[in-house]
A = this chain, B = another copy of it.
């Protein structure tokens, strides 16, 4: 029952494939698994037996939805005991640490936040430590911590640089590990969100998948071959150099019409403030644009056009099967969908496949959940695996033929 190992690494490659498939794609019968993994029915019996015996998989409680009048012997869906483990995920902002506890499936069980008096590493570690203590009281099965923040992390542990925290080379992973005694993963927040959506969210099972986040800044992540592509600019504030409209508004750093200057929440608020003189929240601006107030409407329209242009460029060049819009700034989509769609149309071939666009409003707890997913990945893959996908060793080689 509780004979689960501390990591899935001892599982054979076939067993791990089964466990991962069940983890990411809900309860699945053995025959369905056989189809998905391209294995014979016999192999599935062999692979699932040790997994059910060790308690990692259980036969699902057979929901009442099984009234589907199918013929033949009813299937026995296998499921993971998602609640058997708990994971803590944190998102660090300028003034608050947001924390969540999730199940193995990354469903959020609890939220709890802590204000930050300062941005000193010690202060942040203390806040995370106290939150973790509280989490561990309620969830003794807590077995991993993932932390997402705006900035870059080396080896998923050391914060290389974080402009908004003013950090350089802070060994956050080690500090939190020493404070809590739990394994810790530190990663850029956008990267964590991309992993989370690729494993458990909108990008589940997709080969090519793109995420664009809109908030205080912009974020972009690409999944190719089922694995997130790592780049040198990850966590360094992407989008300031995506010039959407060379004749657009001039930003503080001397560039015209960058995506950041057109699309981020602070930029939109600044533009409205500059023209109307009054300070309004993002939501107010969107509401006033809907009501037809000309100045906010113009700013929002410009933002929507920029967003549509970006989405079209992503679709044109990266050709993902799906694009996810996330972050606190996606409210724009609700109020300006026609403009966005028009901009996409204007920048994309009419015969092209329609852009598979999904929008997900994310608050800070969703970002924290991304951190928890990293912790889940570490348990499942051992060490710093990144995404279900071809073996790491294959990354740079020519994949096998046919």
Chain A positions near chain B (C-beta within 8 angstroms): 13, 16-17, 20-21, 24-25, 36-38, 204-205, 207-208, 210, 220, 222, 224-226, 229, 231-233, 236-238, 240-243, 245-247, 255, 309, 312-314, 316-319, 346-353, 380-381, 385, 388-402
A312-B396 Cα distance, complex, nearest whole Å: 23
A401-B394 Cα distance, complex, nearest whole Å: 12
A238-B349 contact, Cβ under 8 Å, with A245-B246, A398-B226, A399-B225: yes
| A402 contacts B391, C-beta separation under 8 Å | yes
Copies in the complex: 2
| A240 contacts B349, C-beta separation under 8 Å | yes
| A390 contacts B390, C-beta separation under 8 Å | yes
| B318 contacts A38, C-beta separation under 8 Å | no
Chain B residues with CB under 8 Å of A222's CB are 317-319
Chain B residues with CB under 8 Å of A238's CB are 316, 349
Given A207-B399, A231-B352, A385-B401: 14 more A-B contacts, CB < 8 Å: A16-B401, A25-B398, A38-B394, A204-B398, A207-B225, A233-B353, A241-B316, A241-B348, A242-B347, A243-B346, A246-B246, A313-B313, A317-B317, A381-B401
A13-B36 Cα distance, complex, nearest whole Å: 21
| A224 contacts B246, C-beta separation under 8 Å | no
A87 to chain B, nearest CB (A): 18
Sorted nearest first, the 3 A-B pairs with minimum C-beta distance are A225-B225, A233-B349, A233-B352
A346 to chain B, nearest CB (A): 7
A208 to chain B, nearest CB (A): 6
A199 to chain B, nearest CB (A): 10
Chain B residues with CB under 8 Å of A37's CB are 397, 400
28 contacts between A and B (CB under 8 A): A16-B401, A17-B400, A38-B394, A204-B398, A205-B397, A207-B225, A207-B399, A220-B317, A224-B225, A225-B225, A231-B353, A232-B349, A232-B351, A232-B352, A233-B349, A236-B349, A240-B349, A241-B350, A242-B316, A242-B347, A246-B246, A246-B247, A313-B313, A385-B401, A388-B399, A388-B401, A390-B400, A391-B402
Name A381's closest neighbour in chain B (CB-CB): B402
Tell me which of A25, A347, A398 has the highest count of chain B C-beta atoms within 10 A of its own C-beta: A398
Tell me which of A36, A313, A385 has the highest count of chain B C-beta atoms within 10 A of its own C-beta: A313
| B317 contacts A399, C-beta separation under 8 Å | no
A312-B238 Cα distance, complex, nearest whole Å: 13
Instruction: State which of B205, B232, B240, B401 has its C-beta within 8 Å of the C-beta of A20.
Output: B401
A17-B402 Cα distance, complex, nearest whole Å: 9
Instruction: State which of B255, B391, B395, B400 has its C-beta within 8 Å of the C-beta of A13.
Output: B400
| A389 contacts B381, C-beta separation under 8 Å | no
A350-B220 Cα distance, complex, nearest whole Å: 16
Instruction: State which of B232, B236, B351 has its C-beta within 8 Å of the C-beta of A233.
Output: B351
